[in-house]
Amino acid sequence: MTIKVLSVASEAVPLIKTGGLADVAGALPAAVAPHGIEMTTMLPGYPAVIKALSRPRTVHAWASLLGEKARLLAGKIDGHPLLVLDAPAYFQRDGGPYGDTSGRDWADNWRRFAAFSRAAADVGSGTIKGRAFDLVHAHDWQAAMTPAYMRFATPEGGRRVPSVMTIHNMAFQGHYGADLFPALGLPPHAWSMDGVEYHGGIGFLKAGLEAASAITTVSPTYAREIRTAEFGMGLEGLIVSRDARVSGIVNGIDTAQWNPETDPALKSRFSVKTLARRDANKRALEAEFGLEPGDGPLFIVISRLTWQKGIDVLLETLDHLVGIGGRLALLGSGDAAMEGTFHAAAMRHPGKIAVRTGYDEALSHRMQAGGDAILVPSRFEPCGLTQLYGLAYGCVPVVARTGGLADTVIDANLAALNGGVATGIQFTGVHYAALSDAISRTVTLYWQRDAWRSMQRAGIKADFSWNRSGKAYADLYARLIAEDQ
């Protein structure tokens, strides 16, 4: 029997992406399909999403969705069913999914994503003719009100099906003032400790975590970490109270997009058997970034430039990195002050440090294929994908021991090196001493050519496809549905 799941997300590749959530939401339908799950993805109708729909069909219309007109359009995403909420007043705007062209959050994000979730709850509850679902899977705070609407305001004629709430990042929770509560269209009893109320205001993610039948995060270590005040960001008590319902399922990578043997973005394609062919990519990368060519280690960083990613600490270690013979190519966007400091560091170390700001998917592929090591000094990392792409491309990850980074990289300690299973370098604590020490260890290992090659090979051979995690999600869905009957 096929299980029908509605996956509700605010971004998904190939249509719209600001971070790893899009990679995961985009990959899930194919990941779970072999395990008897038919997944429909529901997205907001941003301009890029609407434009990508070829001959969409209107399957439903709302005269007023929290005050604005909306339609539901049906299409396809990579061959899988797609539903798009076309609500021009909410989503037809220049800028990104969450903010304007200058990066400022839209002031009405609460209404935009409450409306999106309200619509998803209507769809998931089976009130749209011809579309029935067995389960709803909501991602992050933007979709988190979906389980809450299903619980407190099941639409007429709808059925309350089980739900999964996945936390991709606890740092974004959707907190708003209590004064907005009446506009959400929820009954008064939803304003409660186990409802949407959170410290006297409204908490979107909090409401979803309370209402969902199960909670997942994107790695087992992060699932444990969010039980603590350091990582729980205020929701640790809730997570502990729902302990039996919380689990971690590590993200996979889309091996069709990220395969060094077939990647069209690369100058020189390679496999685990032809690692020497990476050299041509390294030369090309040096040229592209204007770095001095050389045999020494070339570090890369591909990241949002934010506090989460430990970029401030990385900045402190740049002189050390260059001092011991390293070079660095960075691709990032985000905090304007951090971008400026990187440009200043590049001026200070011409030919050794080079920076590209902005978002460039193809360049990120070329960097993974030509860099020697990728630095990921995150303070917290629910899963992290760039270290996985690094592993698949022979670009050795150097990571903070936290969240998904701890779960996916095997540190090159003596036992792991001797056993040939090491895949990268881990360090504990995101501060100057720990990161600069990790960079030194990396440079030392880099010059031990056999050990380095062995790490690259072990990384490429490790299985980070969606096979296992696709099955884990499918098993979870089946369990929740069985429990519900």
**Residue 3's closest CA among 137, 100, 106?**
137
Contact between 125 and ligand ADP by CB under 6 A: the answer reads no
Which of 126, 174, 195, 332 is in the footprint of ligand ADP by CB under 6 A?
332
Amino acid at 38: E
Which uninterrupted H or E stretch holds 153? none
Q: Which of 37, 49, 218, 355 binds ligand GLC (CB under 6 A)?
A: 218
Nearest-CA neighbor of 65 among 90, 84, 48?
90
Write the CB contacts of 295 (distance below 8 Å, at least 6 apart in sequence): none
- Of residues 16 through 35, those in contact with ligand GLC by CB under 6 A are 19-21, 24
169 binds ligand GLC (CB under 6 A): yes
- If the CB atoms of residues 441 and 471 are measured against ligand GLC, the closer one turns out to be 471
Minimum CB distance to ligand GLC smaller for 195 or for 404: 404
Site string for ligand ADP, 224-243 (x = CB under 6 A): --------------------
In the complex, residue closest to ligand ADP by CB: 20
**Cα 404 from Cα 217, distance rounded (Å):** 10
Q: Does 175 bind ligand ADP (CB under 6 A)?
A: no
Q: Does 386 bind ligand ADP (CB under 6 A)?
A: yes
State the minimum distance, in angstroms, from the CB of residue 303 to ligand GLC: 10
DSSP for 8-67, written as a single string = E-S-BTTTB-SSHHHHHHHHHHHHHGGGTEEEEEEEE--HHHHHH-SS-EEEEEEEEETT
| Binding to ligand GLC in span 327-386, by CB under 6 A | 381-385
Q: Are strands 175-176 and 201-203 parallel, antiparallel or unpaired?
A: antiparallel
In 110-243, DSSP assigns E strands to: 135-139, 163-167, 175-176, 197-198, 201-203, 214-217
| Residue closest to ligand GLC (Cβ) | 20
* Cβ closest to ligand ADP, residue 331 vs residue 480: 331
Rg (CA), the chain: 23
Mark the segment that binds ligand ADP (CB under 6 A) among 43-51, 87-95, 322-330, 356-364.
Answer: 356-364
Q: Least separation, in Å, of the C-beta of 306 and ligand GLC? A: 10
Please give the distance of CA 177 from its chain centroid, rounded to a whole number: 27
Q: Check residue 290 for interaction with ligand GLC (CB under 6 A).
A: no
Tell me the number of residues near ligand ADP by CB under 6 A. Answer: 17
Cβ pair 44, 97 in contact under 8 A = yes
Q: CA 365, 464, 244, 4 torsion: positive or negative?
A: positive
16 vs 385, beta carbon nearer ligand GLC: 385
In the complex, the smallest distance separating the C-beta of residue 265 from ligand ADP, rounded to whole angstroms, is 11
Place of tokens 């506009």: 183
Q: Which C-beta is closer to ligand GLC: that of 251 or that of 333?
A: 251
CB of 27 to ligand GLC, least distance (A): 10
Q: Which of 31, 82, 331, 455 binds ligand ADP (CB under 6 A)?
A: 331
- Interface pick for ligand ADP out of 174, 384, 397, 424 (rule CB under 6 A): 384
Binding mask 67-96 for ligand ADP (x = CB under 6 A): ------------------------------
Which partner, ligand ADP, ligand GLC, none, binds residue 218 by CB below 5 to 8 Å per kind? ligand GLC
Amino acid in position 345: A
- To ligand GLC, the closest distance from the beta carbon of 78 in angstroms equals 18
List the one residue from 68, 236, 319, 360 that touches ligand ADP (CB under 6 A). 360
Among 5, 20, 75, 402, binds ligand ADP (CB under 6 A): 20
Maximum Cα interatomic distance, the chain, rounded to a whole number of Å:
68
Element holding 6 (H helix, E strand): strand 3-8
Partner from ligand ADP, ligand GLC, none binding residue 401, C-beta < 5-8 Å depending on class: none
Taking CB under 6 A as the criterion, the residue among 302, 318, 396, 472 binding ligand ADP is 302
The closest of 7, 356, 337 to 147, measured between CA atoms, is 7
- C-alpha dist (Å) from residue 105 to 96, 109, 174, 400, 412: 9, 7, 12, 29, 41
Q: Cβ 332 to ligand ADP, closest distance in Å?
A: 5
| Short-list 453, 456, 437, 429, CA closest to 324 | 437
Distance CA 104, CA 378 (A): 24
Nearer to ligand GLC, 160 or 309 (CB): 309
Residues near 59 by beta carbon (within 8 Å), at least 6 away in sequence: 72, 73, 74, 83, 128, 129, 130, 131
Q: Measured from the CB atom, is 197 or 381 closer to ligand GLC?
A: 381
Count of residues that interact with ligand GLC, criterion CB under 6 A: 14
> What is d(CA 109, CA 28) in angstroms, rounded to the nearest whole number?
25
Residues in contact with ligand GLC by CB under 6 A are 19-21, 24, 168-169, 218, 251, 381-385, 404
Residues in contact with ligand ADP by CB under 6 A are 19-20, 23, 302-304, 331-333, 359-361, 364, 383-386
